[in-house]
């Protein structure tokens, strides 16, 4: 038994880590009563000067009551204002980029606590030198000139409700509002393929370890 004590301890530790990560990434389906409770909090705490505040709350209510318990992939399409918008609590000396950076710095750490994390984020590359155009296909102004794209994975709709009712979010939300216009579209996952270089590397590592284990076992016999 002592001969395998290291392996046993390691196995127990790895199982506990797996269970902890699984719990962190789990999300129960919201009940209607829970959605109503979140909506009540939003009605009391969301800034009154938030544009289309009532429509946002109404859409959140409908979305929450259709919860399927599955993870959510939130698409963020951002278009920065030319100058910072006057929003209470946001210094007008900041640029829109600086205001959004402050928001993302603060909320990046908070996302982890809610079992969420960004899968991808980056600035648009533009079409040609010196132009802001970002869309190759559609040319309507409202569908062009995006500055930044972010995809965030939430363990479920509950995690997103927890985020938008979080006191820390409510403190920094004005920075986002003052910095940019945004499309916030929840997406369900149908297809997801990791970088094939990681797949090839993982397969190679498994083969390497397996060959080493087999050769070591043969030497021991």
**What does the alpha-carbon distance between residue 21 and residue 71 come to, in Å, rounded to a whole number?**
15
Domain edges within the chain: 28-190
Record the tokens describing residue 202, joined without a space: 């993982």
**What does the alpha-carbon distance between residue 139 and residue 127 come to, in Å, rounded to a whole number?**
12
CATH topology of domain 28-190: Alpha-Beta Plaits (3.30.70)
Going residue by residue through the chain, which has 221 residues, state the pLDDT in tens, using 9 for 90 and above.
566 576 677 678 778 877 787 777 777 899 999 999 999 999 999 988 888 899 999 999 999 999 999 999 999 999 999 999 999 999 999 999 999 999 999 998 888 888 898 998 999 988 887 677 888 887 788 888 899 999 999 999 999 999 999 999 999 999 999 999 999 999 988 777 766 787 888 888 888 888 878 877 777 66
Is pTM beyond 0.85? Reply is no
End-to-end CA distance of the chain: 19
Using an 8 Å Cβ cutoff, are 55 and 63 in contact?
Answer: no
Sheet with 117-123, strands from edge to edge, namely 117-123, 148-154, 72-80, 180-187
User: Please, is 180 exposed, middle or buried when counting C-beta atoms within 10 Å of its C-beta (0-12, 13-18, 19+)?
Assistant: buried
Closest CA to 124 of 101, 152, 145, 95: 145
Using an 8 Å Cβ cutoff, are 80 and 179 in contact?
Answer: yes
**Count of beta carbons in the 10 Å neighbourhood of residue 147:** 20
Long-range contacts of 202-205 (CB under 8 A, 24+ apart): none
pLDDT (0 to 100) of residue 85: 94
Q: Which residues pair with 150 in a beta bridge?
A: 76, 121
pLDDT (0 to 100) of residue 46: 92
**Count of beta carbons in the 10 Å neighbourhood of residue 21:** 11
């Amino acid at each position: 038994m002592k001969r395998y004590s290291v392996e046993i301890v390691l196995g127990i530790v790895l199982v506990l880590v797996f269970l902890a990560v699984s719990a962190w990434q789990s999300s129960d389906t919201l009940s209607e009563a829970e959605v109503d409770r979140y909506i009540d909090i939003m009605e009391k705490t969301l800034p009154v000067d938030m544009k289309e505040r009532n429509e946002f709350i109404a859409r959140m209510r409908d979305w929450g009551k259709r919860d399927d318990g599955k993870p959510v992939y939130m698409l963020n399409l951002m278009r920065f204002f030319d100058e910072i918008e006057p929003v209470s609590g946001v210094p007008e000396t900041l640029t829109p980029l600086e205001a959004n950076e402050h928001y993302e710095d603060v909320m990046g750490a908070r996302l982890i606590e809610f079992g969420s994390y960004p899968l991808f984020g980056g600035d648009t590359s533009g079409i040609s030198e010196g132009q802001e155009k970002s869309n190759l296909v559609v040319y309507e102004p409202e569908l062009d000139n995006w500055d930044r794209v972010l995809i965030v994975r939430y363990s479920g709709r509950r995690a997103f409700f927890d985020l938008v009712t979080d006191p820390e979010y409510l403190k920094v939300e004005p920075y986002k509002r003052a910095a940019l216009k945004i499309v916030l579209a929840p997406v369900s996952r149908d297809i997801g393929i990791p970088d094939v270089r990681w797949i090839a590397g993982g397969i190679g590592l498994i083969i390497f370890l397996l060959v080493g284990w087999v050769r070591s076992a043969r030497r021991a016999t």
